Amino acid sequence: MTAPSPVLEVTDETFSEAVIDESNNRPVVVDFWAEWCGPCRVLSPIIEAVAAEFGDDVLLAKLDTDRNPQTSATYGIQAIPSVKAFVDGEVANEFAGALPEEHVRAFFAQLVTTPSEMAAAEAEEMAASGDLAGAEARYNEMLEEDAENADALTGLAAILLERDDREGAEELLERAGSDRRAKALRHHMFLEEFAGKHDAPALEEEARLDPTDPRARYRWGVMLAAYGRYEEALDELLESVRLDRRFADDAARKAVLAVFDILGLESTLVREYQRRLTQLLF
């Protein structure tokens, strides 16, 4: 990290430029405090020491709430110390009270991109642009520094799958453990294998001819997922759950969860079908 910058004292008049505008360049942590506040005096040396560790990667600003009531009111400061982190002009995270040093350090750490994260982003961009050799080299460099780096393991596994090296990919995914991206890649491998073994028109016809058969609805749902038609797949799989939750050791429910892994919990589709699955089960 670069050399630390001094703590910046901000006021109602300077807050917009010094904090809001600057937060478009780097995270800005604002310590709302007052001279009479005992807990503020406890937190102050802690937060300043932690900020020094992060150097110029994060700016620490302090605002005296007694002397700057306008900004304090704008951000709803009712108790101090109150600490807010600004990123791109918005409050990205916050805490109140005199937290222990390790908690304050974790708060700062969440705001910065680590060298490993930057390397992973660089490798992802290379892979997305078609430079698989460059991405592979970057991921291998990351693994030399940290053999269990999940970003590198899953990224490299995806490249190996592009080359049909399933054995190599499986070995990397095993090392990645329960990482969601690793689980998603395992699901993709299963779906690809399933699609290679079954005839899609036959499975679709099977589900059409016997819509009350949980096995038929499950198999067609899995095939739809293999095609990337996830919403239709979830509809079929949920219908299989409704028809017989216990079919093949809960296979349809497990397949629904696999699709959730692929899409990610932030997906609006996942949130909707989580609700529907819960209604079915409970």
- Total residue count of the chain as it appears in this document: 282
CA gap 5, 57 in Å, rounded: 9
CA gap 110, 259 in Å, rounded: 28
Pairing outcome for strands 90-96 and 82-87: antiparallel
Catalytic residue from among 18, 29, 30, 37: 37
Q: Does 240 qualify as catalytic in the annotation?
A: no
Q: Does 232 qualify as catalytic in the annotation?
A: no
103 is written with which tokens? 């908690």
The residue whose two tokens read 């007052």 is 34
For the residues of 188-252, what is the DSSP string, one character each?
HHHHHHHHHHS-HHHHHHHHHH-TT-HHHHHHHHHHHHHTT-HHHHHHHHHHHHHH-TTTTTTHH
Residues with Cβ within 8 Å of 224's Cβ and at least 6 positions away in sequence, in order, are 230, 232, 233, 236
CA gap 17, 3 in Å, rounded: 23
Catalytic residue from among 10, 19, 28, 40: 40
The residue whose two tokens read 């499986």 is 170
Q: Nearest to residue 236, comparing CAs of 255, 250, 264?
A: 255
Known catalytic residues are 37, 40
